[in-house]
Amino acid sequence: MNAKMLGCIGLLVLVAAALGLVMVRQNAARPENEVLVLCGGSMRAALEAAKAAYEKNSQDTIVTTYGGSGELCAQIQNTGKGDIYICHDPFMPWASDKGLISQWCTLASLEVVIIVPKGNAKGIEALQDLARPGLRVGIGNQIYSSSGQIVKYMLAAQDYGQDVLKNVRVETKGHQQRCNDVVMGTLDAAIVWNAVAVLYQDKVDILPIPKSYVDTITSATFGVVDLTYTKVTAGMIASESERPAAKRFYHYLATEGKALFAELGFSPVREPAP
C-alpha cells in the first residue's frame, strides 16, 4: 500500500470521525426546557404570537418547525420526532387513531373565503361571480390541500362550477402565496383560509362563502370529514408525551389558545349541542 493510498484512508477515517461526532451531537438529549412544535403553515402567525406570550413568563424555549399539516403528520409517523403538533382537519383525528398523538384539543376553526384586491374594482360579490369569463382565480391544490378539497366538492355541487375551474390560474398549497398574488394584481380573486386573509386585510377585501355550499364527505383515508367545520387542533406527540416542558406548553395552548386564535382571525370552536 503506497503513501498516497494511506493518506486517502487516513482522510476517510478523519471524515468518518467528524461525521460521527456530528451525529453524536445531533442525537444528544435536548434541553429539558425545550419544546419542539410542528405547526401547519396556516397557523404560523398564531403560534408565533402564542410563543412570544408564553416565553415572557416561562423558562421554556419553544422551537418551531412549519410546513403543510399533512406533510408534518407524515413526518411524525415516519420519525416520531417532536413534542406538539398543530394542524387543521382532517389530520389530528387520523394521527390520534394511529397512536401518534396521546391527547389533543381544539383551538379554533377555519373557513374558506374569497379575497379580491382592495376596493373590489371588478365587483366580485359571491362564488358564482368567479365564473365570469376572463377572471384569474387562485385556489388550493385539489388533491393535496384541505381548502382545495373543499373548493373541489363545493364547485362540483354548483352548475357554474366548471366555469370557475376554467378561470383557475394558480392551484397551490400555500395560502400566503395566493394572497400575495391578489395583492400584486396577478390574480383577480383567490379562495383562502379566513385566518390567512385577515393578515392581508389592509390590502384585500374579504368576501364570505356561505357554509351551505359545503358538506360532509367520506374519505378513503380519513373517513368522514365535515367540510363545514375545519378544526384547528393541538396535540401531544405520543413518543414525547412525558416531557414536562411539552406538557406545560400544551396546557397553555389548551387554556389560552382559543382566545388567542380568535384574536387573530380564526373562527371559533363549535360548542356541542345541548
Instruction: Give the global pTM.
Output: 0.83
CATH of region 112-208: 3.40.190.10
Asked if the domains at 34-110+230-263 and 112-208 fall in one CATH topology, the answer is: yes
Q: Domain coordinates of the chain in residue numbers? A: 34-110+230-263, 112-208
What does the radius of gyration of the chain's CA atoms come to, in whole angstroms? Answer: 23
Digitized pLDDT (tens) for each residue of the chain, 274 residues in all: 444 433 443 443 343 334 333 333 333 478 999 999 999 999 999 999 999 999 999 999 999 999 999 899 999 999 989 999 999 999 999 999 999 999 999 999 999 999 999 999 999 999 999 999 999 999 999 988 889 989 999 999 999 999 999 999 999 868 999 999 999 999 999 999 999 999 999 999 999 998 888 766 655 555 666 778 899 999 999 975 578 999 999 999 999 999 999 999 999 998 765 4
174: three-class secondary structure by DSSP: coil
Distance between CA atoms of 88 and 195, rounded to whole angstroms?
Answer: 12
Neighbours of 15 (CB within 10 A): 10
Class of the CATH-defined domain 34-110+230-263:
alpha beta
Comparing CA positions, the residue from 96, 60, 101 lying closest to residue 84 is: 101
